[in-house]
Each structure stands twice: as structure tokens, then as C-alpha cells.
Amino acid sequence: MKKITTTDALAAFCVEAAKRPYVTVDTEFLRERTYYSKLCLVQLAYQDDAGEDAVLVDPLADGLSLEPLYDLFRDVGVVKVFHAARQDLEIFHVDAGVIPEPLFDTQVAAMVCGFGEQVGYETLVRKIVKAEVDKSSRFTDWSRRPLTDAQMTYALADVTHLRDVYEYLSARLDKSGRKKWVAEEMAVLKDPATYQSDPADAWKRVKTRTQTGRFLAIVRELARFRETYAQTRDVPRSRVYKDDALVEIASTKPQNEQDLGRSRLLLREARKGEIAQGIIDSVKAGLALPADQLPKPDKSMIKLQVNPALADLLRVLLKATTDNEGVAQKLIASSADLDALAAGERDVPALTGWRREVFGKDALLLCEGQVGLAVKGQKVVIVAL
């Protein structure tokens, strides 16, 4: 079992990997006690006619630099293969501003190939490789050293089986002509904006029932302070205060620490000191904001005037489409997307790119009353009206 603990050894492996058409990548990290993920291990593997190799890279080793790996990530001649890549990519982008190119996510590819919604790695290994993955080390502290043999075996399995999964899915996509579908999905993962957490936008993640401008202004200021505090101190935002406490504060509008002391949901350590002052200042800022600068309600949080019969027909159309195409339903449209379409909204993902070709254009015709649905044998078919 090969473990890399020096920059020279990593560089040597990456030189060899750069000669191959692809390299599989996975990471192990911790995030329970920090805002940013703490990278604890990087797993890499390649395979070709001359043989195969797989290694564990220890980023916690003294003096080890990941720059040779980042050079490999920048090499457009080598496909970088991940499974459910988003969190892995966020780590590399935050650490070095690097996003691997070209990129292939086997979870997305599996959804395109009909393996279901957000299919797990173990499921793909079982169905494609006909092997079982031992997940007994899944919930482990990857920052502790030395790693046990069981931990290292577990970690390597996440990239060794991935080679066979990738080759199988890639061949399926070539045969079906759907590689461009996966490429469209990769555009989101390759966009640096996907991994940027702007404190000014943090309020948009907070779910609230009240949508008045003044209330949202206070929510925005509270979320901005919390995000900035969490980022600068590298602590989870929930350790500052949780969403339910944030919403409570926006409702009660405390003006001083005595008012904060009456909160039912605020953590005790947040009722005094720097956090308490930040909360009070945020409430005052939200209350003082001019009316013409108040945030607008999120359209997705406003109850749409949905035509329920049309929404049901769209669900039948989606089910028929995904059955015929062998694609996971949620990859094409969510339930919220269908409700939006039935309410007259047209700014939905299902009406763009490859989704429009396989579903969106028919969905629009259905919404406009130009086509209907009928049963023919065991299938639902589209009929012109």
C-alpha cells in the first residue's frame, strides 16, 4: 500500500499519471468543527495497458506541498474522475483556486445512464464492478495519525473501483451520445462561483415564512454578520447561531443584551460579547435601512398559483420521458420546477440545454394546450390536439 508523504514522491506519481488518459480522485476531510473543510487525505489512481497504480497522499505530512497535484489538475490532457465531486472541488478551490479540467463526475453520469437519483458509490461498485465496498471506516477521524490498515484499505477502494466505474459509464455515454449532457452538468461544478460564499448573499439560504421587506432586511444583516464571523474564525456557522435562532431574533428585534437574554433559541455564548454586539448592530442596521433598499422576497418562497391538474400532467410527462430515456427524474426537473411551470414560470432549468430537448419542449406544448397525453399499450404517449 503506497503512501506519499513528500513533495518529490507526489511529483513523481503525478508525472506518471500525466501520461494516462485519466486519473481517479477522492478525498477524506473533516468539517464538524470548522467553517472550511480540513483536508486529511487525497486518494489517486490511474490505469492503463502497462499496469495500474494507486496511492494515498498525506497532506498533513510535514513539508508536503500539493502543487504537483494541482499541476496535474491543470493538465487538460488528463481527465480527472470524481464521484459526487462538489465537496472535493470546494476544498481544492478554497486551498489553491484550482478546479480540475477536464472533469468527470460518475454520480452525474450514472444519473444520465439511468442508475437512479444521486446514486451512491457503493451502489455503482456493486452493480458495475460486482464488488462490495467495506464502509466500516466511513465515520472516522481522518486527521489522526498513524492511519490504520483498515482506514487505508477503505480509502484506496474509493479510487480503485472508480476506474472501472468510469470506464463503464464513459463507454455507455459514448454509445448513447449523451456525453454532452454530462458536460453541461460539469459546467456548474467547474464554475468558481459555485464554491464562493459571499456573506451578502448568506440570507438567501435561510428559510423563513415571513417575506416582508423589513423582516428580510434584518435576516440579511444577521446572516451577513454570522457568515463573516464564521469565515474569519473558521468555525461552523451553526456555532455562531443557528437558523431558527436567527429567525427568532429577526422577529423579536432585540436592542440590547438584556433583550437577547430572553431568547429561547440563542446559544448561551452568543448572548454576550462580540457575537451579542454583532447581533444587536445587525438588527439596528436592518431597522434603519431605507424602504427603497429593502431586499425583495425570493420568488421561490412565494406560494405560486399552480394549476394542480396541469402540474399532475407534467409529472406524468416527466415520468414517461425518464422511463423512455433511462434518466433520473430529478436530473431533469424537480417537483418545484414542475409546479413553477404549471404556474406559468418559464425561468426553470428544465427549459434549457439538453433538458429542453428531452422534456422541456414537450412540457411547454403541454402547458400551451397544443398536445395531450394518452395511453398506448404500456406507455404514455404525446398526442397532438
Residue 368, classed as helix, strand or coil, is coil
Compute φ and ψ for 55, nearest 5 degrees: -140, 160
d(CA 380, CA 383): 10
Mean pLDDT value across residues 228-235: 97
Q: What backbone torsions phi and psi does residue 20 show, to the nearest 5 degrees?
A: -100, 160
pTM of the shown model = 0.89
**Closest C-alpha to 59, from 101, 19, 88, 20:** 88
| Rg of the Cα atoms in the chain | 25
- Round to whole Å and give the CA distance between 235 and 230: 5
What DSSP line would sit under 83-95, residue for residue?
Answer: SS-HHHHHHHHHH
Architecture of the CATH domain 2-195: 2-Layer Sandwich (3.30)
Judged against a pLDDT cut of 70, whether residue 253 lies above it is answered with: yes
What's at 3, amino acid-wise?
Answer: K
Q: What is the mean pLDDT of residues 364-369?
A: 96
Span 199-298 CATH architecture? Orthogonal Bundle (1.10)
Average pLDDT over residues 335-341: 94
CATH value of 303-384 in 1.10.1760, 1.10.150, 3.30.310, 1.10.3470: 1.10.150
Q: For residues 239-267, give the mean pLDDT.
A: 96
- 172 contacts: CB under 8 Å, gap ≥ 6: 109, 113
Q: What is the average per-residue pLDDT within 29-34?
A: 94
Over residues 161-173, mean pLDDT: 97
- pLDDT the model gives residue 304: 67
Type of residue numbered 38: K
**pLDDT for the residue 1:** 60
Between CA 377 and CA 187, with CA 177 as vertex, the angle to 5 degrees is: 115
- Under 8 Å between Cβ of 300 and 208: no
Secondary structure letter of residue 219 according to DSSP: H
Query: With 80 as the cut, is the pLDDT of residue 187 above it?
Result: yes
pLDDT digits (tens, 9 = 90+) for 80-107: 999 999 999 999 999 999 999 999 999 9
Residue 42 phi/psi, 5-degree rounding, is -125, 130
Terminal Cα-to-Cα distance of the chain (whole angstroms): 65
- Give the pLDDT confidence of 107-134 residue by residue, as tens digits: 999 999 999 888 999 999 999 999 998 8
Residue 51 pLDDT > 70: no
Parts of the chain belonging to CATH 1.10.150.80:
199-298
Give percent of the chain with pLDDT exceeding 70. Answer: 97
Separation between Cα atoms, residue 22 and residue 9, nearest integer Å: 19
Task: State residue 162's pLDDT score.
Answer: 97
Average pLDDT, the chain: 94
What is the H or E stretch that residue 163 is in? helix 149-176
CA distance 293 to 256: 25
